[in-house]
C-alpha cells in the first residue's frame, strides 16, 4: 500500500513551509508529480521546494507551461516540467524526460496527471485541491520505499510543528 | 546591390516554431519563414509533434531552403550565421545551435549567438524608420513577461519579470477556464469586446509598488473564483453571454492595466522617452491603445512591430547585425543556454 499523508494548508505560508520542508528532504533522482486544477498552486509549491533545495534566487522559478521545461541550479539540479500544453505521452517522452528521471537531479512535473504512463513507478505524487480563497489541501502519496520514507519524515515534521 | 553586401542566415528553434530568416547588414529582411505559418508541415503528412526537437530537425532544412529561395540567394553567398541560443527548451535550442555551428564551419563564416528575448525588442527596430534606442523594452508573450532598460542594442539590463505565469499564458489559461478555445489571446480579446471591463475588480499585483515585477497567477485564480466560488475546483465553462464576456473583459483590463503601469514606471525611472514592445501579446488591440495613450501622456515614442514580427520568428535575430559590426563572434562551441538568470 502506498504511504499517504493529507495536509490542510490554511494559507500561502503553509504551502510554502511544506514545499521548503520537502525540498530539504529530496534526494538525487527524486521525481515529484504535481497534480491539481488551474490556480491550485502547483508553481507556488514548486518554488518553495526549490527554496528547500537551496536555490539562490527563487524568483527564477516561473511557470514552464510554454517552454515545457526549465532547469535551475541548487543543492541538486532541478528539472521543472509542465505537461499542460502537451497532447500526450509521446510529446512528453520527446522532451527526453526518461533521461532526466534517471539522472541525479530532482524532477518536478506539473500537470503530471496528463502523462501518467511516462512517470516512473516510484515517485511522490502531490495532489493539490482548492479549499478556499488561499487555503489548499495537499494529498501526498509515496509510491516506492524511498518515497514512503519521505512521507514518514514529513509526517514526523508535521507532528512537531 | 553593392559587392560588399553581407548576407546573414538566422535560425530560431527555441520553442514551438522552426524559423529561418535572411537579412543584410543594414539590416534589411529578405526572407522570414516560420514553419507553422507555411504549408511546410503539410508536406510531411500526418501528425508532427509540435514541441519535439525531432520536429525542429525535420523542419529546419526545408525552412532554410525556403528562406534562401525567397531571398533569391544561394547558401554559399551567406556571410554570417546567427542563431537564438537562449533562452528556451534545451533540446529544441540545440537543433538550431548545432545547425548554425555546422553551417558556419562549413561555409567558413562567423557565428553569432542572439538572446531570443532581446530579439523580440529588436523586432521593433526592424519595423521602425528611426533608432529605437535608448528605450524601455517590454517582451510580453506566452513564455515571457520581462521589462528591460535598453541603453543600446547590445546593452540590455533586466528591470523586472513575471514571478509566475507569463501574460500570454494567463490569456490561454483564462480562455480555457471560460471555454474560449486556443489560442487564448485572440479568443479572450474577441469575447472581451462584448463585455464590461469594470464588471469585476480583479487583482492587479504590484500595481502600486515600486518593483517592476509581474504576477499573473493570482489574477487567473481570481477569474476561477469569480466563475464558481473557491470550493468548486473544476467549474464548467460559462455559457456564451454577458457573464462570460464581462469576465473576459475584466480579466483583459487587469492585464492591460498592469502592463501599462509597469511600462510607465519604467519610463519614469529610466528617464528614456522610447518604449519598445514585442512578443505575441503586443498584438492585443486594447493593450496597444492603452500603451499609446500612456506613451502620449509621458511624451514617449511607442514602437510595436507588426504581428509577424511580434510572434516568434528568426528575423528578429537581426540583432546579430549589431554584434557583427563589433565583431562579437561566438566561438564554434557556442552552447544552448536554456534559462535566463
Higher pLDDT, B15 or B121: B121
Chain B interface includes A10 (CB < 8 A): no
**Mean pLDDT of chain B, nearest integer:** 92
Judged against a pLDDT cut of 50, whether residue B67 lies above it is answered with: yes
Q: Does A94 contact B230 at a Cβ distance shorter than 8 Å?
A: no
Q: Is B110 on the interface with A (CB under 8 A)?
A: no
Per CB-CB distance under 8 Å, the chain A contacts of B225 are: 133
pLDDT tens digits, residue range B99-130?
Answer: 999 999 999 999 999 999 999 999 999 999 99
pLDDT in tens, A39-69: 999 999 999 999 999 999 999 999 998 888 8
List Cα–Cα distances, B6 to B9, B75, B191, B289, in angstroms: 10, 12, 47, 38
Shortest Cα–Cα distance, B142 to chain A (Å): 6
pLDDT tens-place string over residues B136-177: 999 999 999 999 999 999 999 999 999 999 999 999 999 999
Contact (CB<8Å) B169/A94:
no
Chain A residues whose beta carbon lies within 8 Å of the beta carbon of residue B234: 37
pLDDT digits (tens, 9 = 90+) for B302-327: 999 999 999 999 999 999 999 999 99
Domain limits, chain A:
3-160
Is the separation of the CB atoms in A61 and A43 below 8 Å? Answer: yes
Contact across the interface for A130 and B142, Cβ inside 8 Å: no
Residues of A in contact with B163 (CB under 8 A): 59, 62
Strands A3-9 and A31-35: unpaired
Tens of pLDDT, residue by residue over B18-49, are 999 999 999 999 999 998 744 444 444 333 34
Q: What are B178-219's pLDDT values in tens digits?
A: 999 777 899 999 999 999 999 999 999 999 999 999 999 999
Judge whether residue A135 has pLDDT over 60: yes
A121 close contact with B: CB closer than 8 A: no
Q: For position A133, what pLDDT does the model report?
A: 83
Flag whether residue B164 sits within 8 Å of chain A, measured between CB atoms: yes
B173/A contact by beta carbon, under 8 A: yes
**What pLDDT was estimated at residue B42?**
44
pLDDT score at B233: 58
pTM comes to 0.91
Residue B47: predicted pLDDT: 36
CB pair distance less than 8 Å for A62 and B233: no
Report how many Cβ contacts below 8 Å link chain A to chain B. Answer: 99
Cα atoms found within 13 Å of the Cα of residue A36, Cβ hemisphere only: 23
pLDDT over 70 percentage in chain B: 92
Residue B45's pLDDT is 36
Enter the C-alpha cell of residue A46: 514548486
Please answer yes or no on whether A38 and B164 come within 8 Å at the CB atom. no
Residue of A nearest to B52 (CA): A94
* Smallest CA–CA distance from A96 into chain B, residue: B91
Helix axes B184-192, B242-270, angle to 10 degrees: 110
Three cell numbers, residue A146: 524511498
Q: Is A99 on the interface with B (CB under 8 A)?
A: no
> Looking at residue A1, what is its pLDDT?
72
Of A40, A71, A87, the CB nearest to B339: A71
Q: Residue A86 — pLDDT band, cuts 50, 70, 90?
A: confident
Above pLDDT 70, what percent of chain A? 98
Contact status, residue B142 vs residue B336, Cβ threshold 8 Å: no
- Nearest CA-CA distance, residue B14 and chain A, Å: 8
A 23-82 → B contacts, CB under 8 A: 36-40, 43-44, 57, 59-60, 62-63, 65-72
- Average pLDDT in the A110-136 region? 94
At B2 the pLDDT is: 52
Using CA atoms, how far apart are residues A128 and B105, in angstroms rounded to an integer? 51
Chain A residues inside the 8 Å CB shell of B340: 60
**Substitution target from B56, B88, B221 for chain A, most A beta carbons within 10 A:** B221
Q: A133 touching B, CB under 8 A?
A: yes
Going by DSSP bridges, is the β-strand pair A78-82/A69-72 parallel, antiparallel, or unpaired? Answer: antiparallel
Contact B248, B191 (CB under 8 A): yes
Class (C level, CATH) for A3-160: alpha beta
| Cα–Cα distance list, B154 to A148, B13, B193, B302, B318 (Å) | 51, 22, 39, 20, 12
Q: How far is A56 from chain B (nearest CA, A)?
A: 11
Structural domains in chain B, CATH included, are 7-121+311-325 (3.30.420.40), 132-306 (3.30.420.40)
Q: How far apart are the first and last CA of chain B?
A: 42
User: Which of B52, B84, B161 has the most A C-beta neighbours within 10 Å, making it the best mutation to test the interface with A?
Assistant: B52
pLDDT for the residue numbered A57: 94
* Inter-residue contact B157 to B121 (CB < 8 Å): no
For residue B46, the model assigns a pLDDT of 36
Closest residue in A to B51 (Cα) is: A91
CB proximity A7 to B under 8 Å: no
Q: Is the pLDDT of residue A159 over 80?
A: no
User: Which residues of chain A have a CB within 8 Å of the CB of B172?
Assistant: 65
Given this model, what pLDDT does residue B53 score? Answer: 77
pLDDT score recorded for residue B38: 44
Contacts of B15 in chain A (CB under 8 A): 66-68
Using alpha carbons, list the distances in angstroms from residue A34 to A94, B1, B151, B189, B258.
20, 57, 41, 31, 29
pLDDT average, residue stretch A81-98? 86
**B165 in contact with A, Cβ within 8 Å:** yes
Amino acid at each position: 500500500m502506498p504511504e499517504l499523508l493529507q495536509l490542510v494548508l490554511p494559507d500561502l505560508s503553509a504551502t510554502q513551509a511544506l514545499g521548503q520542508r520537502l525540498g530539504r528532504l529530496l534526494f538525487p533522482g527524486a521525481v515529484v508529480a504535481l497534480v491539481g486544477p488551474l490556480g491550485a498552486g502547483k508553481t507556488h509549491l514548486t518554488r518553495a521546494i526549490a527554496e528547500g533545495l537551496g536555490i539562490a534566487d527563487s524568483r527564477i522559478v516561473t511557470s514552464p507551461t510554454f517552454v515545457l521545461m526549465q532547469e535551475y541550479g541548487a543543492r541538486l539540479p532541478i528539472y521543472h516540467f509542465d505537461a499542460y500544453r502537451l497532447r500526450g505521452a509521446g510529446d512528453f517522452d520527446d522532451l527526453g524526460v526518461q533521461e532526466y528521471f534517471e539522472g541525479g537531479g530532482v524532477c518536478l512535473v506539473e500537470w503530471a496527471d496528463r502523462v501518467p504512463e511516462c512517470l516512473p513507478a516510484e515517485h511522490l505524487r502531490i495532489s493539490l485541491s482548492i479549499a478556499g480563497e488561499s487555503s489548499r489541501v495537499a494529498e501526498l502519496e509515496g509510491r516506492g520505499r524511498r518515497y514512503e520514507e519521505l512521507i514518514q519524515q514529513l509526517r514526523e515534521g508535521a507532528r512537531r510543528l | 546591390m553593392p559587392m560588399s553586401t553581407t548576407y546573414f542566415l538566422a535560425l530560431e528553434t527555441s520553442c514551438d516554431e522552426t524559423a529561418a530568416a535572411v537579412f543584410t547588414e543594414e539590416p534589411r529582411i529578405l526572407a522570414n519563414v516560420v514553419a507553422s505559418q507555411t504549408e511546410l508541415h503539410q508536406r510531411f503528412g500526418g501528425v508532427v509533434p509540435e514541441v519535439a526537437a525531432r520536429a525542429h530537425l525535420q523542419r529546419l532544412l526545408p525552412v532554410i531552403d525556403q528562406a534562401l529561395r525567397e531571398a533569391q540567394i544561394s547558401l554559399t553567398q551567406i556571410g554570417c550565421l546567427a542563431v537564438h541560443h537562449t533562452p528556451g527548451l534545451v533540446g529544441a535550442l540545440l537543433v538550431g545551435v548545432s545547425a548554425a555551428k555546422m553551417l558556419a564551419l562549413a561555409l567558413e563564416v562567423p557565428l553569432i549567438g542572439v538572446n531570443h528575448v532581446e530579439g523580440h525588442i529588436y523586432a521593433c527596430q526592424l519595423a521602425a524608420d528611426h533608432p529605437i534606442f535608448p528605450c524601455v523594452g517590454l517582451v510580453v508573450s506566452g513564455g515571457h513577461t520581462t521589462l528591460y532598460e535598453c541603453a543600446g542594442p547590445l546593452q540590455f539590463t533586466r528591470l523586472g519579470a513575471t514571478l509566475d505565469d507569463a501574460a500570454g499564458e494567463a490569456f490561454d489559461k483564462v480562455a480555457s477556464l471560460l471555454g474560449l478555445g486556443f489560442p487564448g489571446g485572440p479568443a479572450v480579446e474577441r469575447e472581451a469586446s462584448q463585455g464590461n471591463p469594470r464588471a469585476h475588480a480583479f487583482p492587479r499585483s504590484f500595481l502600486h509598488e515600486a518593483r517592476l515585477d509581474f504576477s499573473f497567477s493570482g489574477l487567473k485564480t481570481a477569474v476561477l473564483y469569480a466563475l464558481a466560488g473557491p470550493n468548486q475546483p473544476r467549474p464548467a465553462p460559462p455559457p456564451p453571454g454577458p457573464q462570460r464576456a464581462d469576465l473576459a473583459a475584466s480579466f483583459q483590463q487587469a492585464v492591460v492595466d498592469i502592463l501599462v503601469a509597469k511600462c510607465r514606471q519604467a519610463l519614469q525611472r529610466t528617464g528614456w522617452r522610447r518604449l519598445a514592445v514585442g512578443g505575441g501579446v503586443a498584438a492585443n488591440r486594447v493593450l496597444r491603445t492603452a500603451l499609446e495613450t500612456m506613451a502620449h501622456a509621458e511624451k514617449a515614442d511607442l514602437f510595436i512591430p507588426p504581428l509577424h514580427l511580434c510572434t516568434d520568428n528568426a528575423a528578429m535575430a537581426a540583432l546579430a547585425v549589431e554584434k557583427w559590426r563589433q565583431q562579437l563572434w561566438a566561438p564554434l562551441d557556442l552552447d544552448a543556454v536554456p534559462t535566463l538568470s
